[in-house]
């Protein structure tokens, strides 16, 4: 653990060992920055003084150009920023630039522009719970689930940054005892997920091997895959999620580099049956991330924590997801988003969606303002948090992924 000359409070998500990338606006337009303590370092300014490699990509309005440069450029840039911010370095002060802003004083924007967004379904607990509720008479886990990381193509145009209001979607639903109706969803839900953001990508027709995934995964963000369960339940057969999901997907504003997460990478779960050769990987591809979901009504100042869980038990890993997604030769481009699927543990308080936490709306959640919830109401704010923390290692946090429901 190296200290920075920028103050980093104990327990901060953003010590020198993290240095996540984001896009902010301090009044000079969209710029790339890294978070450090309570500040953001303006990489446009630093690059302007010739202090960074790959300056042109770092002076762009989003991360896509930088993501396209690949792993050695990411490593070199991270090393240089670490040097500049490490205790003892005075290069930034010596250049006399106005490169540090309080994060609370800048506007944060979507850090990357996803051309494609894919959502997986990789938690065995979540897939089992949903199977029990959606298909009560069948085996909860469908026959393909342990053989491939099930996923679907989501909607990239509605990926929004944390803090963006979420408009309650309208849709078509089917009451149990009558014909279909249209109107606002009555079952607005969250999905607690973690996503990865891609780097250079591949040529059309050339799959990415699972062992090369590290060259193509730049970093990770928190994802809230908002879901309208009543719309989803009626529309999803036989082709999968559509309008019940495509109205909004929120990501946290800081992309945590995979390089910062290496100390927290752990072996993936034992897989039975053994996956096919193209899904076999070397090395540790699990990530030990602690996750929690906060929910506040419009009258509450601080959210109640309604779920706590961990990412390290996910059945399918990022490397396997990427290998599977490209096995048919499809193209991955810089800045694509691949979300894990809802992260649920095995106990009721560890589920990553309201449909599981309330078991399909059967059991309500008591909030500290005295109200109850099954699904979200207008004015509710959901806050996802994630962090890695082990004794003797620096805390690597993801910050917050927040959204408020509006009518
Ligand atoms: Mn999802």
Give 73-87 pLDDT, tens digit per residue: 999 999 999 999 999
Same domain? For 93 and 125 the reply is no
* 170 within a domain of the structure (yes/no): yes
Q: What is the mean pLDDT of residues 164-170?
A: 98
31/381 Cα distance (integer angstroms): 28
Pair 156, 246: CB distance under 8 Å: no
Indicate whether 53 and 194 sit together in one domain.
no
CB-based contacts of 355, cutoff 8 Å, min separation 6: 130, 133, 187, 189, 227, 229, 361
pLDDT at 201: 94
- Residue 99 and residue 163 in one domain: no
Tell whether 311 and 348 lie within a shared domain: yes
At residue 223, the pLDDT reads: 99
Average pLDDT, integer, range 293-314: 97
**Quick check: pTM over 0.85?**
yes
Give the residue from 45, 77, 109 where a domain finishes: 109
User: pLDDT tens digits, residue range 342-375?
Assistant: 999 999 899 999 999 999 999 999 999 999 999 9
* CATH value at residue 84: 2.30.30.230
End-to-end Cα spacing for the chain: 46
Could you read off the pLDDT of 98-157 as tens digits, one per residue? 899 999 999 999 999 999 999 999 999 999 999 999 889 999 999 999 999 999 999 999
**All residues with CB under 5 Å from ion ligand 1:** 119, 191, 225
**Strand segments (E) across 7-93:** 21-25, 31-36, 39-42
- 235 and 363 fall within a common domain: yes
SS3 371: coil
Are 191 and 337 found together in one domain? yes
Checking if the pLDDT of 198 tops 90, the result is yes
Q: Show which of 90, 109, 128 is a domain's final residue.
A: 109
How far, in Å, from the CA of 191 to the mean position of ligand 1?
6
Q: What is the pLDDT of residue 348?
A: 87
Mean pLDDT of the chain: 97
Residue 16 lies in a domain: no
Selected catalytic residue, list 126, 209, 216, 324: 126
Mean pLDDT value across residues 314-324: 98
- Give the separation between CA 13 and CA 37, rounded to whole angstroms: 7
Residue 12, in any domain of the structure: no
Distance CA 66, CA 77 (A): 10
Question: Is 126 an annotated catalytic residue?
Answer: yes
Name residue 22's beta-bridge partners: 33
3-state DSSP call for residue 262? helix
pLDDT tens per residue, range 248-269: 999 999 999 999 999 999 999 9
pLDDT tens-place string over residues 26-45: 999 999 999 999 999 999 99
Residues 79 and 161 in one domain: no
> How far away, in angstroms, is 118 Cα from ligand 1 center?
9
Q: What is the pLDDT of residue 10?
A: 93
Task: Give the mean pLDDT of 148-175.
Answer: 98
Q: Please tell me the distance between residue 101's alpha carbon and the centre of ligand 1 in angstroms.
A: 34
Residues 158, 46 share a domain: no
Tell me: do 333 and 401 sit in the same domain.
yes
Ligand 1 centroid, distance to 64 Cα (angstroms):
24
pLDDT at 26: 97
Same domain, 319 and 192: yes
- Going from the Cα of 194 to the center of ligand 1, the distance in angstroms, rounded, reads 10
In angstroms, what is the span from residue 119 Cα to ligand 1's centroid?
6
- C-alpha 272/C-alpha 266 separation (Å) is 18
What is the percent of the chain with per-residue pLDDT over 70, rounded to a whole number? Answer: 100
Ligand 1 mean position, distance from CA 339 (Å): 7
Q: Give yes or no for residue 95 having a pLDDT over 90.
A: no
CA distance 108 to 270: 39
Beta bridge partners, 400, equal: 385
Number of helical H runs and strand E runs in the chain: 10, 26
How far away, in angstroms, is 352 Cα from ligand 1 center?
Answer: 10
User: End of a domain among 79, 109, 139?
Assistant: 109
Q: In the chain, how many domains are there?
A: 2
| pLDDT (mean) for 333-338 | 98
Residue 331 lies in a domain: yes
Give the pLDDT score at 183: 98
Q: 3-state DSSP call for residue 112?
A: coil
Three-class SS of the chain = CCCECCCCCCCCCCCCCCCCEEEEECCCCCEEEEEECCEEEEHHHHHHCCCCCCHHHHCCCCCHHHHHHCHHHHHHHHHHHHHHHECCCCHHHHCCCCCEEEHHHCEEECCCCCCCEEEECCCHHHHHHHHHHHCCCCCCCCCCCCCCCCEEECCHHHEEECCCCEECCEEEECCCCCCCEEEECCCEECCEEEEEEECCCCCCCCCCCHHHHHHCEEEEEEEECCEEHHHHHHHCCCCCCCCCCCCCEEECCCEEEHHHHHHHEECCCCCCCCCCHHHCCCCCCEECCEEEEEEECCCCCCCEEEEEEECCCCCCCHHHHHHHHCCCCCCCCCCCEEECCCCCCCCHHHCCCHHHHCCCCCCCEECCCCCEECCCCCCCEEEEEEEECCCCCCCEEEEEEEEEEEC
Both 172 and 97 in one domain: the answer is no
102 with 143, same domain? no
- pLDDT for residue 1 is more than 70: no
Q: Which domain holds residue 73?
A: 21-109
């Amino acid at each position: 653990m190296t200290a920075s000359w920028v103050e980093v409070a104990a327990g901060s998500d953003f010590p020198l060992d993290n240095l996540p990338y984001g896009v902010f606006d301090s009044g000079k337009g969209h710029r790339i920055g890294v978070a450090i303590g309570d500040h953001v370092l303006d990489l446009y300014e630093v690059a302007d003084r010739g202090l960074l490699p790959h300056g042109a990509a770092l002076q762009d309005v989003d991360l896509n150009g930088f993501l396209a440069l690949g792993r050695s450029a990411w490593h070199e840039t991270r090393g240089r920023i670490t040097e500049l911010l490490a205790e003892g370095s005075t290069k930034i002060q010596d250049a006399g630039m106005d490169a540090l802003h309080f994060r609370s004083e800048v506007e944060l924007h979507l850090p990357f522009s996803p051309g494609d967004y894919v959502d997986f379904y990789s938690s065995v607990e979540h897939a089992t719970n949903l199977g029990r509720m959606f298909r009560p008479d069948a085996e909860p886990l469908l026959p393909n689930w342990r053989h491939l990381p099930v996923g679907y193509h989501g909607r990239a145009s509605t990926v929004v940054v944390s803090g963006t209001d979420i408009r309650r979607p309208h849709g078509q639903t089917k009451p149990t005892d009558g014909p279909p109706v249209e109107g606002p969803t009555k079952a607005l839900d969250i999905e607690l997920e973690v996503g990865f953001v891609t780097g250079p990508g591949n040529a059309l027709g050339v799959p990415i091997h699972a062992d090369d995934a590290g060259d193509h995964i730049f970093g990770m963000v928190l994802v809230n895959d908002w879901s309208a369960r009543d719309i989803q339940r009626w529309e999803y057969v036989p082709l999968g999620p559509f309008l019940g999901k495509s109205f909004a997907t929120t990501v946290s504003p800081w992309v945590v580099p995979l390089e910062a997460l290496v100390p927290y990478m752990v072996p993936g779960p034992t897989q039975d049956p053994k996956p096919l050769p193209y899904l076999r990987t070397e090395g540790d591809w699990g990530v030990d991330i602690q996750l929690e979901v906060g929910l506040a009504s419009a009258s509450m100042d601080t959210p109640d924590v309604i779920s706590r869980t961990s990412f390290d038990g996910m059945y399918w890993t990022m490397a396997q997801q990427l290998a599977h997604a490209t096995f048919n030769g499809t193209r991955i481009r810089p800045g694509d988003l691949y979300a894990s699927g809802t992260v649920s543990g095995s106990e009721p308080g560890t589920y990553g969606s309201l449909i599981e936490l309330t078991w399909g709306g059967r059991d309500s959640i008591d909030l500290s303002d005295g109200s109850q919830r099954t699904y979200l109401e207008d004015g509710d704010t959901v806050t996802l948090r994630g962090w890695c923390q082990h004794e003797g290692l620096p805390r690597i946090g993801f910050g917050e992924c927040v959204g408020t429901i509006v009518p």
